[in-house]
């Protein structure tokens, strides 16, 4: 991808935008232009241009005699959620910024067929609203919405009736409706933001988003009578909103697609076309370890190339070795196939003790460089979930992909303070048998601490892609001067 070829490209783009071009009127117009472009995108002449360019690129790679299938943006989002879900019949909801003139959709998946029953136009996008809020508080839209969500918990809570943004959106049936156009909306938001601390401003935005989504989901469940829900689109990455949705009384079971943003569109489009051509409609996601892996020979060759900078040895029980190191250190952990999606799930991870805030702060200072208000998430043994988490209702609440928020039990929160947010919330990966070595690591930690839990964050430096190869991993180790790393069965130590 471009991000791997030019790691600083995204950071430089946002720096230029913030320092050189960030004027409220310009930003409002840019969002409106984005809306207009997404309306033009699906038109025939645009498809012809895209197809011509794509054919040329594919032929350069050696492909001949192929047919190109176009799948509409929100249909691809709906397909990834529907076809990957464990449900034979489901309500499928998508919400994001915008794509092909649409910002949200309600669909029914039944008898292996996916049917859209309603769509919200792009001009009514609550995803764009949240992007604008992110931009106004000096962060990067399409990148830092998670930071906005985390910051909101530092505001003093207040009733929704006192929320100055409460009338910006409403739900009418199966549609979300915006009160203002994107330009007017951005201008009003900018003015409101100046009148209060930014924590309070983003709290109001988060509260509005949660209320609108709960109403939207509730209406869809009531109108269709379907209580099993599959959910995708960029807004589905907001785990605090997901927490609220999960507690809707009429919602029975639900599934959040692990790669819910636009990164999942390619797979969703492939799912849909494979169904259209071959009738295949189910792909149960027991895990998301779909990326590349590396042989012992490849890894050892890379290690030998760096033997002047690191020492290494092969061990029989890497999980046991890692658990011992994690008593007093954070550790880079690299194993098996890379994860598909935005979350590190135990194969390209940085691990630290869940109860030690000093080590967490050291990790953040040297490697992650996150804002002070951003929490870290844990990996947790599935069988320990009810011991740690307050609000697990049923089996569908068990989340192995880090897509949902929960509240920690008060009597446990202080024992795992490095992975609990200021409001006692956390976003755990609940580990079953899908990753046996990682599960063994958690079991080793449990022997010492009584709970199989570890801080787990993505294996990358701030602003860089998650590491993919052994070369990437060693490069990150050297740049951050990290003392320990475990790659497969090799334990590395910085010289």
The predicted-structure confidence for 303-335, as pLDDT tens digits, reads as follows 999 999 999 999 999 999 999 999 999 999 999
Q: Which residues contact 1 (CB under 8 A, 6 or more apart)?
A: 465
pLDDT value of position 20: 47
Domain membership of residue 348 (yes or no) is yes
Instruction: Give the helix/strand (H/E) hosting 272.
Output: helix 265-278
Q: Examine the pLDDT at 95 and tell me if it is beyond 90.
A: yes
- Residues 152-191 have pLDDT tens digits of 999 999 899 999 999 999 999 999 999 998 889 999 999 9
Angle, vertex CA 151, rays to CA 150 and CA 152, nearest 5: 90
Number of structural domains (the chain) is: 2
Which residues constitute the domain of residue 429?
296-494
Residues 442, 379 contacting (CB under 8 angstroms): yes
**Are 224 and 340 contained in the same domain?**
no
Q: Which residues 6+ apart lie within 8 Å of 80 measured at CB?
A: 232, 257, 259, 264, 265, 267, 268, 271
SS3 (DSSP) at 266: helix
Based on its alpha-carbon atoms, the radius of gyration of the chain, rounded to whole angstroms, reads 23
- Give the DSSP letter string of 397-437: G--SSS---EEB-HHHHGGGGGG--TTSEE--EEE-TTSHH
CA distance 484 to 310: 10
**Does 120 share its domain with 152?**
yes
pLDDT number for residue 21: 46
Domain stops at, among 245, 278, 311? 278
308 and 335 housed in the same domain: yes
Q: What is the DSSP letter of 179?
A: S
Q: What is the CATH number of the domain that holds 347?
A: 3.90.870.20
Assess whether 379 and 248 both reside in one domain.
no
From CA 467, how far away is CA 451, in angstroms rounded? 29
CA neighbours closer than 13 Å in the CB half-sphere of residue 90: 26
Predicted confidence band at 392 (pLDDT cuts at 50, 70, 90)?
confident
Q: What is the mean pLDDT of residues 80-92?
A: 97
Q: Is the pLDDT of residue 223 over 70?
A: yes
> CB–CB of 112/275 below 8 Å?
yes
**Chain segment 479-489, per-residue pLDDT in tens:** 999 999 999 99
User: Nearest to residue 239, comparing CAs of 282, 269, 271, 209?
Assistant: 209
User: pLDDT grade, residue 463 (50/70/90)?
Assistant: confident
Torsion over CA: 10, 11, 14, 16 (sign)? negative
Shared domain check, 264 and 217: yes
Question: Is the domain of 166 the same as that of 223?
Answer: yes
274 and 371 share one domain? no
Q: Which of 11-15, 235-239, 246-250, 320-324 has the lowest mean pLDDT?
A: 11-15
Residues 236 and 365 in one domain: no
What integer is the mean pLDDT of 203-214?
A: 99
Query: Is residue 284 in some structural domain?
Result: no
Domain end position, chosen among 249, 278, 307: 278
Classify the C-alpha dihedral 419-423-424-430 as positive or negative: negative
How confident is the prediction for the chain on average, in pLDDT?
Answer: 92
53 falls within a domain: no
- 304, 272: one domain: no
CATH number at residue 268: 3.30.420.40
Give yes or no: residues 249 and 300 share one domain. Answer: no
Q: Which of 278, 313, 343 is the last residue of a domain?
A: 278
Residues 482, 328: contact at Cβ < 8 Å? no
Using pLDDT thresholds of 50, 70 and 90, give the confidence band for residue 3.
Answer: low
* Residue 172 placed within a domain: yes
Share of the chain above pLDDT 90, in %: 81
How much is the pTM? 0.92
Per-residue pLDDT tens digits for 255-272? 999 999 999 999 999 999
Residue 495 pLDDT > 90: yes
Whether 8 is covered by a domain: the verdict is no
Q: Look at residue 300 and tell me whether its pLDDT is greater than 60.
A: yes
| Structure tokens that stand for 223 in this block | 């109108």
Pair (116, 264) in one structural domain: yes
State whether 193 and 319 are in the same domain.
no
Q: Once rounded to an integer, what is the mean pLDDT over residues 88-116?
A: 96
> What CA–CA distance (Å, rounded) separates 40 from 328?
56
């Amino acid at each position: 991808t471009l991000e791997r070829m030019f790691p600083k490209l995204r950071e430089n783009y946002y720096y230029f935008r913030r320092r050189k071009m960030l004027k409220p009127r310009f930003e409002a117009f840019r969002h409106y232009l984005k809306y207009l472009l997404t309306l033009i995108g699906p038109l025939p002449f645009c498809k012809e241009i895209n197809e011509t360019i794509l054919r040329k690129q594919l032929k350069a790679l050696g492909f001949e005699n192929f047919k190109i299938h176009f799948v509409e943006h929100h249909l691809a989002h709906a397909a990834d959620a529907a076809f990957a879900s464990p449900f034979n019949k489901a309500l499928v909801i998508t919400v994001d910024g915008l794509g092909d003139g649409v910002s949200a959709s309600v669909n029914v998946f039944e008898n292996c067929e996916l049917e859209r029953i309603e769509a919200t136009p792009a001009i009514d996008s609550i995803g764009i609203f949240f992007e604008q809020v992110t931009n106004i508080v000096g962060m990067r839209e399409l990148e830092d919405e998670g930071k906005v969500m985390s910051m909101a918990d530092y505001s003093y809570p207040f009733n929704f009736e006192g929320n100055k943004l409460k009338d910006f959106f409403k739900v009418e049936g199966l549609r979300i409706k915006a009160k203002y156009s994107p330009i007017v909306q951005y201008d009003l938001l900018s003015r409101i933001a100046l009148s209060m601390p930014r924590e309070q401003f983003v709290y109001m935005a988060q509260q509005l988003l949660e209320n609108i989504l709960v109403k939207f989901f509730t209406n869809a469940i009531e109108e269709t009578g379907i209580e099993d829900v599959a959910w995708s689109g960029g807004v589905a990455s907001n785990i605090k909103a997901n927490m609220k949705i999960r507690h809707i009384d009429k919602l029975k079971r639900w599934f959040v697609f692990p790669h819910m943003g636009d990164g999942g569109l390619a797979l969703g489009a492939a799912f849909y076309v494979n169904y259209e051509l071959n009738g295949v409609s189910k792909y149960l996601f027991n895990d998301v370890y779909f990326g590349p892996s590396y042989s012992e020979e490849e890894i050892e060759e890379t290690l030998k190339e760096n033997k002047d900078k690191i020492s290494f040895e092969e061990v029989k029980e890497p999980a046991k070795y890692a658990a011992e190191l994690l008593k007093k250190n954070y550790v880079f952990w690299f194993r098996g196939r890379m994860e598909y999606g935005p979350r590190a799930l135990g194969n390209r991870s940085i691990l630290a003790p869940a109860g030690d805030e000093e080590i967490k702060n050291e990790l953040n200072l040297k490697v992650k460089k996150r804002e002070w208000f951003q929490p870290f998430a844990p990996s947790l043994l599935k069988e320990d979930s009810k011991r740690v988490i307050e609000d697990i209702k049923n089996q569908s609440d068990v989340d192995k992909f880090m897509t949902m928020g929960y509240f920690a039990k008060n009597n446990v929160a202080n024992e795992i303070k490095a992975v609990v947010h200021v409001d006692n919330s956390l976003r755990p990966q609940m580990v079953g048998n899908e990753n046996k070595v990682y599960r063994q690591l958690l079991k080793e930690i449990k022997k010492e601490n009584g709970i199989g839990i570890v801080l787990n964050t993505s294996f990358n430096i701030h602003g860089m892609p998650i590491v993919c190869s052994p070369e990437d991993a060693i490069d990150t180790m050297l740049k951050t001067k990290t003392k320990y790393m475990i790659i497969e069965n090799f334990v590395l130590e910085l010289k």
